[in-house]
Amino acid sequence: MKAARWHAKLDIRVEDIEIPHPGANEVVIKVKQAGICGTDIHDYMSGPHSIPVDKPDPLTGAVAPVTMGHELCGIVHELGSGVTDWKEGDRVVIAPLQNCGKCYFCKRGLHHLCVIQAGLGLQTKEGGFAEYCKVKEYQLRKMPDNMNWAQGAMVEPTCLAMYGIRRSGLEPGDTLLITGGGPIAVLNMMCAFVCGASRVYMTEKHPARIAKLLELGATEVFNVTECDALSEIMDRTEGLGVDIAVECTGSESGINLCFDSLRKRGMYIQSGLSLGEVKVSPWKWALKDLNMIGLWCCNPYDYDSVIKLVADKRIEVEKLITKTIKLDDIVTEGFEALARNKEKKEMKIHVIP
């Protein structure tokens, strides 16, 4: 089969490799559609960040080169021994995290916080940018008949967004600020509205993306290069501030704008990954009596409810997909297109193996 494998920074190769076969409690999926994630771009441009290269992963034993891709859906192709709840031909979405099932967090149902958790397509040999992908049985989620492949490959990033919105305690009528205009920011906005938000303000600086955010439903988008976003937000909220701020850029300016824009006792959510250090003022957090949440991936128990919302088009995830490509073109038309996306016209690129 063909597979897109990460060898090193700026070195992803579409290669011919053996089709995997399942072991005990494993399933091989025929991949129908897979999305390129920002995490994939980071490892392509400046990695390795999460791909093991010097020593095998402690959970899976994987070491580069690895087949990338963790936002995927497909058809059950082959069952390993011990798998009784699935059959060949079943349509499935994949929850990408693997876990030990034994540590402090796994025993408490927090499998996404497993001390040696491994992400499909990053810390595993197999991944979704291939014709076939091997996963654990517990990673399968049933796709309803009214869900198409494009929707199925968008479930995982939608779960990431919904996890933060659910943890925020959002109540009907709440107002939000979401910094940044990338796919996760947009999905946070869509999830917030489906959960009852009244207004969602966003920030961006690229005209093409600002237009896209408005088209997708943002209440208002502030161009941070042309206006004082904090003043605009305070004006819209009668000087009170927003109820919830979701930071999706990982930037110092975005983080501080969120803290400054929150009302007292507001909720701050760190959704974007900040790889470096930033300067903040904890005094402001104390003065406002703020609530704060850090996010890591999503709880695997959220998948079924998100699948229903996506399948019923309550969250119209397909609107984020700006291009669909062949596996052979994944480097030039996928990774390079997103990495060099200076005007931010591309939002989400999907691969059909």
The per-residue pLDDT for range 240-249, each reduced to its tens digit, is 999 999 999 9
Q: Given CA atoms 15, 16, 18, 19 in this order, what sign does their dihedral have?
A: positive
- pTM to 2 decimals? 0.96
Which of the two residues, 175 and 302, has the higher pLDDT score? Answer: 175
- Verify cis geometry, omega within 30 degrees of 0, for the bond prior to 20: no
Question: Which tokens in the block code for residue 105?
Answer: 């967090």
Upper half-sphere CA count for residue 297 (Cβ side, 13 Å): 20
The per-residue pLDDT for range 148-193, each reduced to its tens digit, is 999 999 999 999 999 999 999 999 999 999 999 999 999 999 999 9
- 302 pLDDT above the threshold of 90: no
pLDDT exceeding 70 applies to what percent of the chain? 100
Residue 121: beta bridge partners? none
Upper half-sphere CA count for residue 256 (Cβ side, 13 Å): 10
Mean predicted lDDT score pLDDT of the chain? 96
- pLDDT recorded at residue 341: 86
Walk me through the domains of the chain, giving residue ranges and CATH numbers.
2-143+316-352 (3.90.180.10), 158-294 (3.40.50.720)
CB atoms within 10 A of CB 21: 11
Interhelix angle 155-167/183-194, rounded to 10 degrees, is 60
- pLDDT recorded at residue 261: 98
How many angstroms separate the CA atoms of 84 and 93, rounded? 18
The per-residue pLDDT for range 217-234, each reduced to its tens digit, is 999 999 999 999 999 999
How many angstroms separate the CA atoms of 75 and 18, rounded? 18
- 275 pLDDT above the threshold of 90: no
**Which amino acid is residue 236, in one-letter code?**
R
- Of 119, 87, 114, nearest in space to 103 by CA: 114
Q: Where are the alpha helices (DSSP H) in the chain?
A: 38-46, 149-152, 155-167, 183-194, 207-216, 229-236, 252-261, 282-288, 303-311, 336-339
- pLDDT recorded at residue 276: 81
Q: What is the mean pLDDT of residues 203-230?
A: 96
First-residue to last-residue Cα distance in the chain: 10
